Amino acid sequence: MEKIICACGHSNPYGTKLCEKCGRPLTEEEKQNKVVDMRYDGMAIRSKTYNKSFVDKIWNFFSSVKVGISLIIITLIAASVGTLLPQEFYVKASDMEKGAYYADVYGTFGKIYYTLGLSDLYSSWWFQILVGMLAVSIIVASLDRGIPLYKSLKNQRVKRHESFMKRQRIVAEGQVSASAEETLDKVAQKMTEMKYSVRRDGSALLAEKGRFSRYGPYINHVGLIIFLGGVMLRLVPGFYVDESIWVREGETRAITGMEGYFIENRDFILETHDNTPQGEQVKQGVNVVAKNFQTDITLYKQPEDALPGDTENLEKVKDYSIRVNHPLKEDGFALYQMDYRLNELKQMNFELINKTTEKSLGKVEIDLTNPKKEYDLGNGSSVQILVYTPDFDGFENGEPQTKTSIPNNPAFLFKMTTPETPEGEVSFVEIMQPPLEPLGENKYRMKFASAEMRDMSGITVRKDSTIPILFVGGVIFMIGVAIGSYWNHRRLWLQVEPDGRVLMAAHVNKNMFSMKKDLDAVTTFAALPPYKDQLEKDEAGEESTTGGIKEKEGDNTL
Amino acid sequence: MEKKKKRLVLRTVILAVLALAIGYTVYGTATKEKVELVAVGSEAPDFTLVDLNGEKHKLSDYKGQGVFLNFWGTWCKPCEKEMPAMDNQYQEFKDHGVQTLAVNIAQTDFEVQNFVDRYGLSFPVVIDKTKSVMTAYNVGQLPATVLIDPEGKVAKIITGEMTEKDIASYMELVKPNKE
Amino acid sequence: MSLIDLSGNLLFVAFIAYLVATLLFGGSIKQGNATGKNTGKWGKLAIVVTIIGFLSQLGYFITRWIYTGHAPVSNMFEFTTAFGMFIVGAFILIYFIYRLTALGLVALPVALLIIAYAAMFPKEVSPLVPSLQSHWLTIHVITAALGQSILAISAVAGLIYLLKVVDLTKPSKQRFWLEAVMYCLVVVVGFVAVTSTFSAMDYESSYNYVDKEGTTRKIIYNLPPVFGMNEYEVIEEHGMSPLVEMPALINAKKLTTVVWSLLVGSVLYLLIRLIARRRISAIFQPLVKRVNLQLLDEIGYRSVLIGFPVFSLGALIFAMIWAQIAWSRFWGWDPKEVWALITWLFYAAFLHLRLSKGWEGRKSAWLALIGFGIILFNLIAVNLILAGLHSYA
């Protein structure tokens, strides 16, 4: 690729728009522009320089800002499509029934939505590739622009060619009465006062302020990449744990995903606001607003050498009340209060009574978490449990069946022995149902007296070792964005000829408004010729015809 | 020219690393959903549980023997169905170095004892009250059976119901000193 | 007077002050000088009244905060009102940087419409559900709303820019869309008008209906029902019966509200057109004739620059931190989260287009309007239509 030799003798890389040394415009296009394109200070965008091999072509594709913006827009549109219907993870249906759920609830549209995989859009391969391509674009485009820009700004010369100066947006030209030295001194003094750093080279002067703000975009891109990298790391085994467990009051169980730890649910507490419902609450039929969901737990840990299943020597780690917004944190894990279920049967109390006299022979208290084989009532009566099914589901071959291990619908096959019936009578008792007496009419029956309930807490177990990385990424991003947005890069070039002719130019990457305040100050102080804003003049001319300021068409760096 | 070459290499490396990262992400997400039990070929997590007779069973004590480890619950119909077959095969293999251990998931002693009595099961049945063994083996669906070879490594994992023939062949698989 | 009454009165004072300030800004421009940068008598008075209104609304905010015990940003009324307040705040900030009175002529009516819209939601103080009981409610919501308000100023500048530059004498796409924006503003007025009229009449019709899960529920309409809920049965009906029954998927009550707003808005729009005998854009055009386009473009860009970092911090970073604490995951693709991301991506594209592709002036102004549209969509549609974790209203 040929080098471009500038009139000043400097040899510039191919693609350079403004001579690296003196700033003369090098391309025809730049020569015709009234105001030069200062985006990357006229440096050659690297992608432009090599475009031969396949790798270069891919590289150049991702280096293009146009491609980057297109990727942003496509991601944006794709993301919005995913909000049309609730995503699968918010749908309360099992994996098998999800397709049917979408079809039932949302009709044909739901069916298509599900079939196209839009109901799980954010974990689809194409969405991930899209975000991945965006990341590639950020990296490649930043490398291609950031590095040349850094070099260019670092090696800035004080003295620039007149054609460079005159093509800046702000230009001033004219005679001053003071001597060259005096003018330069005065400008230097005022600019230093305004916290510019001033460099001088003979009769030329460059005052510069806030150069670091030019690096803001690149810093925030670094932050974004760190963030995305962190998100990716979550897939590496060991970095991320996401489990949920149910723990009943009084129960101690191993914590899934958190090896060696056990949780005991001592108490689940549900508090409600004691307000009188009004307005919208009444309209929506909401009577009470929950105030607090809390599980009082004790966290235990096995001794180092203990095996799973060995729960004899659990060491208490701490007591804690897990509440919403107040997770329990331990050993890189966090336990969250996520869900609850109230009133699961824990104990059922019966009375053994004589059917005719209704006389009670005593109370049988059955702890459903640990039913006993036999309950002795004294006075020669006893009750035996022959069969206990926590979730009775009908008979099969004469055997009562249970649907689950949860006491949703407990049923018992009792054998009742009394002095009157020493042989014993058999009765099948199901909750809320009249007893069945398979071996003929009984004299006694088990009368349901009362029940005790317990609650259940749904706890989410979460470990996310990528959080520090994400946090660092987020902080770097914010620093970059703030630098890029709240500061700006201001430069002022000044050249004074011995005969008192002054040429001044100024550039600011944004916020010309406050730059002009600086310019006004220095112009007055050093009695410089008045400056003009070349774009403003443009606009005035154009206003009557098209009404807008000139819109730059296309990105000629692509 | 040297510079140009260096740049090409650098670009190739950067693009390749990024492509790999994206590939890994897509692959990782696609395989994330599949919940696996312990991996075949890995060391079976050791544990200790107490059976209905109050006797302690420690997995590592059975080193040198094959272990047929079955996770079950009384409410699980396929578990119930395969129990008698398991018992038959237990009788067959127990003197040939294959131990059977049935791990019940956190049910009450009463229910488990009742079940064992009903089917007259002779192999040891332990109850995982705190679900810690279940957690260690990452058991989701019942029944789940883990076959452990005499070296203590996981030889095979079976989820779902087994026929008696299956059970026999699985026990054969982990039998020590095969001639 | 109790604290909550005081709070309500302060909000009312603020509303009136904004209304008066709008007229004063209009007056200042009529009387104004060549640039639209006015520091004359009217302009000064206008900004003073604006500041009085803002302080009064700040008073509403603080007294309500003290009364409820939490930052008053926890439901649609509170959040939207605060959003209106922040827009006025952002306008005051930008005004003191650029001293452009024309900005007030659009910023204040926009804020007024937003506050009026907010007032259509139930104003009762409701206690906080557990997930909202956190300092992050204050931090996240206020920062996010502040960011959105500053971004909104960019749309205000964009609208003025377009009002000035779009040629209204010849038919064009731009002329059509500009008028469409004006129409939308009128529809909001329509919504406020119809809602407050029927609310003043204490209008109520109630029905039982079957929701999509198959359970029977009761619903009260505050506007005469145009559409009926799925399998509705009348409990108490006034004025009219629903014309069409909707399937369970569609909330016919909300649809009724939308249709009434469109209806009244359209009638209002037609009336304006008939009386003024020109487009609404054309009514405003003379008012902004003398503003400096360069300055407007700069304001539009600058407010995105100021607002974007604030928005990123509040709506994404603080949001993620809180989500990690309250919901155990920093990101869950909840519709509100997704739309915050979309807003962020959109303004990122805006900045890139401006920096690299030179999309300034007209194009930039249109983008600023679209961006504000996305913000409003996230505020209104996502809360009311797309169900998710954020639908507290």
ipTM of the complex: 0.90
Nearest CA in chain B to A373: B110
Same domain, C161 and C304: yes
Does any domain span residue C363?
A: no
Average pLDDT, rounded, for chain A: 85
Asked whether the beta carbons of residue A309 and residue B130 sit closer than 8 angstroms, the reply is: yes
pLDDT digits (tens, 9 = 90+) for C291-342: 888 889 989 999 999 999 999 999 999 999 999 999 888 998 988 899 999 9
| Best residue in A14, A59, A241, A409 for a mutation probing chain B (most B CBs within 10 Å) | A59
Does any domain span residue C270?
A: yes
pLDDT digits (tens, 9 = 90+) for A200-226: 888 889 999 999 999 999 999 999 999
| pLDDT of amino acid A176 | 83
Same domain, C146 and C42: yes
Chains B and C touch, contact meaning at least 3 pairs of CB atoms under 8 angstroms apart? no
Domain A167-210+488-543: CATH architecture, name and number where available? 2-Layer Sandwich (3.30)
A293 touches chain C (CB under 8 A): yes
What is the three-state SS of A17-58? CECCCCCCECCHHHHHCCCCCCCCCCCCCHHHHCCCCHHHHH
CB C361 within 8 A of CB C292: no
pLDDT digits (tens, 9 = 90+) for C126-152: 788 888 889 999 999 999 999 999 999
DSSP one-letter string for C138-195:
HHHHHHHHHHHHHHHHHHHHHHHHHHHHS-SSS--HHHHHHHHHHHHHHHHHHHHHHH
CB C163 within 8 A of CB C284: yes
Q: Over pLDDT 90: what percentage of chain B?
A: 9
CA-closest candidate to residue C304, choices C90, C139, C138? C90
Same domain, C267 and C296: no
Does any domain span residue C159?
A: yes
C215 touches chain A (CB under 8 A): no
pLDDT digits (tens, 9 = 90+) for A62-85: 999 999 999 999 999 999 999 888
Same domain, C150 and C177: no
A235 touches chain B (CB under 8 A): yes
Same domain, C183 and C261: yes
C235 touches chain A (CB under 8 A): no
- The residue segments making up the domain with residue C105 are 3-168+282-329
DSSP one-letter string for C225-292:
-SEEPTT-EEEE--S---SEEPPTTS-HHHHHHHHHHHHHHHHHHHHHHHHH-S-HHHHHGGGGTTS-
Instruction: Note which residues in 17-36 of chain B have CB less than 8 A from chain A.
Output: 18, 21-22, 24-26, 28-30, 32
State the Cα–Cα distance between residues A550 and B8, nearest whole angstrom.
Answer: 39
Same domain, C270 and C286: no
| pLDDT of amino acid A327 | 93
C355 touches chain A (CB under 8 A): yes
Nearest CA in chain A to C298: A511
Residue A171 has pLDDT above 70, yes or no: yes
Same domain, C22 and C156: yes
Provide, as residue numbers in chain C, all residues whose Cβ is less than 8 Å from the Cβ of A90: 334, 388
**In angstroms, what separates the C-alpha of B93 from chain A's closest C-alpha?**
26
| CA C5 vs CA A280, A326, C202, C346: distances in Å | 19, 34, 21, 41
Same domain, C178 and C250: yes
| CA B102 vs CA A305, B127, C96: distances in Å | 24, 8, 78
Asked whether the beta carbons of residue B132 and residue A403 sit closer than 8 angstroms, the reply is: no
Residue C386: band (very low, low, confident or very high) from pLDDT cuts 50, 70, 90 = low
Residue A47: band (very low, low, confident or very high) from pLDDT cuts 50, 70, 90 = low
When divided into structural domains, chain C yields a total of 2
A435 touches chain B (CB under 8 A): no
Same domain, C232 and C313: no
For chain A, which residues make up each domain, given as ranges? Answer: 42-153, 167-210+488-543, 240-342+458-465, 346-449
| pLDDT of amino acid A553 | 33
Chains A and B touch, contact meaning at least 3 pairs of CB atoms under 8 angstroms apart? yes
pLDDT digits (tens, 9 = 90+) for A384-421: 999 898 888 888 888 888 888 888 889 999 999 888 88
Provide, as residue numbers in chain A, all residues whose Cβ is less than 8 Å from the Cβ of B49: 309
**In angstroms, what separates the C-alpha of A276 from chain C's closest C-alpha?**
10
Provide, as residue numbers in chain C, all residues whose Cβ is less than 8 Å from the Cβ of A480: none
Question: Per this entry, what is the length of chain B?
Answer: 179
| pLDDT of amino acid A543 | 39
pLDDT digits (tens, 9 = 90+) for A320-368: 999 999 999 998 999 999 989 888 899 999 999 888 888 888 899 999 8
* CA trace torsion B128, B131, B133, B139 (10° rounding): 120
Same domain, C39 and C179: no
* Strands C227-228 and C244-245, bridge-based pairing: parallel
Provide, as residue numbers in chain B, all residues whose Cβ is less than 8 Å from the Cβ of A221: none
Same domain, C41 and C146: yes
Domain B48-173: CATH architecture, name and number where available? 3-Layer(aba) Sandwich (3.40)
pLDDT digits (tens, 9 = 90+) for A219-261: 999 999 999 999 998 888 888 888 889 999 988 988 988 888 9
| pLDDT of amino acid A258 | 87
Nearest CA in chain C to A509: C355
Residue C165 has a CB neighbour count (10 Å cut-off) of: 21
| pLDDT of amino acid A544 | 35
B neighbours by CB contacts (3+ pairs under 8 Å): A
C158 touches chain A (CB under 8 A): no
pLDDT digits (tens, 9 = 90+) for C248-271: 777 888 888 889 999 999 999 999
Same domain, C88 and C155: yes
Does any domain span residue C249?
A: yes
Q: How many CB pairs under 8 A join A and C?
A: 171
For chain B, which residues make up each domain, given as ranges? Answer: 1-34, 48-173
Asked whether the beta carbons of residue C357 and residue A68 sit closer than 8 angstroms, the reply is: no
| Best residue in B57, B75, B115, B146 for a mutation probing chain A (most A CBs within 10 Å) | B75
A482 touches chain C (CB under 8 A): yes
